[in-house]
Amino acid sequence: MVVVNLGHIFKIVFVIILLLLIYNVFDNNRIKVVEQTIAIEKLPEALNGFTVLQVTDLHEKEFGHKQKRLLKKINDIEYDVIVFTGDMLNSSTSRNYSPYYNLIEGIENKEHALFVPGNADPRSYLFTTSGLEKNDFIDGMEERGVAFLDTTYSIRKGNSLVRVVDFESSIISNERIEAYKTTSEDGNISPYVKLQMDKYEENKVLNEESSDLLIALNHYPIPDSRMDVIFSDDHYNIRKFDLILAGHYHGGQYRIPFYGALFIPESFYERNGLFPPQDRVKGLWEYKGIKQYVSTGLGSSDTIPLMKFRLFNTPELNVITFTSKK
């Protein structure tokens, strides 16, 4: 007869849990640099090796005093443009700007530095009696050298042109603008509609001047089913993006070894993102000829109380390099 020593079993379980907790604290506070190469047909020689550094989903996470460890990683990387794809704060009402501001203050290469907002960031514009005004969060960011991208941004290298665009504003079509005008009561256009119309006008340059490399930034990844809608609906004007960069999913904040993400916040998938398709959670994929790269980001959300951490999901920076397709 086998005698089970419950005390011995409890000790083993306790040690395993303790080791997992220690590892998880360590893992949540380290940073890995993930590199990805994107091959582009007929890429001009001047853009061969063009590099984007993506920083996303900080969620007010601090990596050392005034982001010392994170800044060491970033400042050791050579890149042409640095992009922040949203959720630098932990909620849209947060006033804790310091983790993000400390980070951007310490970044050495901000010649081309761009930001698009996420759902946990404040509204970019405030509707006031005098019209639209940028949120103080955006003002403070721009004072520190990072530009708010709400339409398009140009980078020239030699005779070659790179355009970085805000995905959502870049796909506004003329049909949508006409629909806005039609539905405006008594010809009175709301500040929101006026903002969309202004973005549409600014993005007309995408029709008038071709680029050698077109990169779109969006906080939210674009699931296949939404891409189908964009391709089929006249209210959208899909572009020939060479790459879409996004975040938001955290790679599935809690990951299981040998399986992957348990959940991502995505209503376009069955079960609202529970047990999502693992090839659409992070990294590079292609659909209908458009490549998309999704970073797992750096921080974690607290949607579930007391669960503001990542599990088997190391924080990451992403270095995306464009090369000529051979």
**Tens digit of pLDDT per residue, the chain (326 long)?**
555 677 888 888 888 899 999 999 999 999 999 999 999 999 999 999 999 999 999 999 999 999 999 999 999 999 999 999 999 999 999 999 999 999 999 999 999 999 999 999 999 998 877 778 899 999 999 999 999 999 999 999 999 999 999 999 999 999 998 888 776 655 677 788 888 999 999 999 999 888 999 999 999 999 999 999 999 999 999 999 999 999 999 999 999 999 999 999 999 998 989 999 999 999 999 999 999 999 999 999 987 777 899 999 999 999 999 999 87
Identify the bridge partners of residue 39 per DSSP, sorted by sequence position: 323
Interhelix angle 136-143/98-106, rounded to 10 degrees, is 20
Q: d(Cα 53, Cα 214) in Å, to the nearest integer?
A: 16
Query: CB–CB of 58/298 below 8 Å?
Result: yes
> Cβ atoms within 10 A of the Cβ of 25, count?
10
Distance of alpha carbon 300 from the chain centroid: 13
Would you mind telling me the total number of residues written for the chain in this entry? 326
Which residues, at least 6 apart from 178, have a Cβ–Cβ distance to it below 8 Å? Answer: none
- Report yes or no on 158 lying in a domain: yes
The radius of gyration of the chain's CA atoms, rounded to the nearest angstrom, is 22
Q: d(Cα 196, Cα 241) in Å, to the nearest integer?
A: 21
Which position has the token pair 């930034």? 217
Residue 282 backbone phi and psi in degrees, to 5:
-160, 165
Which position has the token pair 């190391």? 314
Which residues, at least 6 apart from 121, have a Cβ–Cβ distance to it below 8 Å? Answer: 86, 87, 88, 89, 92, 137
Query: CB–CB of 134/97 below 8 Å?
Result: no
**DSSP, residue by residue, 272-307:** GGBS--GGGSSEEEEETTEEEEE---S----SSTT-
Which residues, at least 6 apart from 326, have a Cβ–Cβ distance to it below 8 Å? Answer: 39
Which of 16, 38, 5, 3 minimizes the C-alpha distance to 319?
Answer: 38
**pLDDT score of 1:** 57
- Report yes or no on 1 lying in a domain: no
Which of 83, 116, 284, 298 minimizes the C-alpha distance to 199?
Answer: 116
Please give the residue range of the domain that contains residue 133.
Answer: 6-324
3-state secondary structure (DSSP) of residue 264: coil
Helix (H) or strand (E) holding 200: helix 191-202
Q: d(Cα 17, Cα 270) in Å, to the nearest integer?
A: 32
First-to-last alpha carbon distance for the chain, in angstroms, is 69
- Report yes or no on 312 lying in a domain: yes
Q: What is the pTM of this model?
A: 0.94
- Report yes or no on 178 lying in a domain: yes
Domain count, the chain: 1
Identify the bridge partners of residue 84 per DSSP, sorted by sequence position: 55, 115
Which of 204, 307, 210, 326 minimizes the C-alpha distance to 263?
Answer: 307
Query: Would you give the DSSP letter of residue 29?
Result: T
Residue 234: which CATH number?
Answer: 3.60.21.10
